[in-house]
Amino acid sequence: MTGTLTRRVPVRSRTFSRLLDLRLLAVCLGAVAVGLVATALSVSLGEFPIPLGDVAATLVGAGSRTDEFIIVGLRLPRALVGLGCGMALGVSGLIFQTLVRNPLAAPDVIGVTGGASLTGVAILILGAPPAVLPVGAFVGAVASASLVYALAWRGGLSPYRLVLVGIALAAAFAAGTSYLLVVGDLIDVQRAAVWLVGSLNGVTWDEFWPLVVGLVVLFPATAALTRALDALSLGEESAVALGVPVQRARLGLVVVAAALAAFAVAASGPIGFVAFIAPHIARRLTGLTGASALPAAALVGGVLVMVCDLVARLVLAPIELPVGTVTAVVGAPFFLYLLYRANRPVGGG
């Protein structure tokens, strides 16, 4: 991890200045390249393989009607929704991890995703029209985030209480979800079980557009809060000393991170582990800590979901696994590895 020289270049005009990290830039460009390859493969591979040449032809409007249906109607929205969900989850996870100063934090750990799962399953089991599902999941995520926040608030928000309250509520939501799965009709329960793992099966442009709107609003909001996030990661006292409006900034960050997770869950169901692993991978690759790794966390998250979904589609073809099974297979060992590392006594002194 160490020993790699981070090269940085100041970029300045009269009204604008940044310190550009070349390694971050390289990681982002690399992720974009992998993402493009993954998109191409996602669109090309499947039960009816379409050669890349025909893919290109279709995209410029010169393909056959079947190809166009498969690519533009089925595979492209699926790839793009995967990308968008992964980006949202990567950013959400990095914000939560930095804010509560705990590498094990993520929207799935602190109850946001749990609330969305509960409302989503309720909708599927109680037989509401399927079109309501994303809305219900979104409302569930936002409501549970608000509940966690309200219960953790005591004259101010302590990140530690936020995590504890979140874990407790996540358990309660999981109990509610289990109850619904036990009492539900078998066919509904099966659909709910697939949705609960997080799945991009059958995703269309209808899931894509709300997600894009969410990202277009929330990514700039995130960018506006990154400096406060970095200051907050030095602890509350240092943040106050640096002139950060601590409670306002924390509220803004929790809202943004929870909303990002909500949009992702609404589009695809709760895809596990992505919000948790993507920031770690991004930090490893860039050698950066805190908010400066955000662009990399977004791209790594997006590419991760896309690649996992490709694997989920192909590995047992013609059966399509929910993408969440693949992210869990990748994520669970990684989680254990981090737990192992976190529990090791820190040396030095």
Residues at the site binding other proteins, with contacts judged by CB under 8 A: 1-2, 5-6, 10-12, 15-19, 98, 101, 103, 223-224, 227, 230-231, 233-235, 237-238, 240-245, 283, 287-290, 292, 346, 348-349
Task: Report residue 35: phi and psi, to 5°.
Answer: -60, -40
> Which long-range CB contacts under 8 A does 171-175 form with residues at least 24 apart?
173/111, 173/114, 173/115, 173/117, 173/118, 173/144, 174/114, 174/117
Q: Which is nearer to other proteins, 191 or 284 (CB)?
A: 284
Output the smallest distance, CB 289 to other proteins, in A. 5
Given a contact cutoff of 8 angstroms between Cβ atoms, the answer to whether 75 and 66 are in contact is: no
- Whole-number minimum distance, CB 148 to other proteins, in Å? 22
Dist. CA 49–CA 42, nearest whole Å: 10
Q: Provide, rounded to whole angstroms, the least separation between the CB of residue 69 and other proteins.
A: 45
Token reading at 79: 């790839």
Indicate the SS3 state at residue 201: coil
Minimum CB distance to other proteins smaller for 129 or for 243: 243
- Residue with smaller CB distance to other proteins, 270 or 287: 287
Distances (CA, A) of 43 to 40, 55, 72, 88, 209: 5, 7, 9, 22, 19
Residue closer to other proteins (CB basis): 196 or 278: 278
In whole angstroms, give the CA distance from residue 170 to residue 308: 25
Output 18 or 51, the one with its CB closest to other proteins.
18
DSSP class per residue in 234-265: T-HHHHHHTT--HHHHHHHHHHHHHHHHHHHH
Q: How far is the CB of 330 from other proteins (least distance, A)?
A: 22
Find the shortest distance in angstroms from Cβ 158 to other proteins. 14
Q: Please tell me the number of Cα atoms within 13 Å of 108 on its side-chain side.
A: 21
| Element at 103 (helix H, strand E) | none
What is the smallest separation between the CB atom of 285 and other proteins, expressed in angstroms? Answer: 13
DSSP 6: P
Of the pair 188, 236, the CB lying nearest other proteins is at 236
CB nearer to other proteins: pick between 20 and 33:
20
Provide, rounded to whole angstroms, the least separation between the CB of residue 188 and other proteins.
Answer: 44
